[in-house]
Amino acid sequence: MIIAKRCYIGETIKNKDKILKTIANNLPLKNIYCLCVGDKPHHLMEILSSREMIKDIYSKEKYKIIGIASSRDEAFELTRQIMACVYKEYKDPLKIREFFALD
Cα angle for residues 83, 5, 96 (degrees, 5° grid): 25
pLDDT at 53: 84
Give 78-88 pLDDT, tens digit per residue.
Answer: 999 999 999 99
Amino acid at 45: M
Give the residue, 15 or 56, on which the prediction is more confident.
15
Total-model pTM: 0.87
Give 25-76 pLDDT, tens digit per residue.
Answer: 889 899 999 999 988 777 889 999 998 888 877 777 788 999 999 999 999 9
CA distance 20 to 34: 11
In eight-state DSSP terms, residue 23 is H
Helix or strand holding residue 51 (H, E): helix 50-53
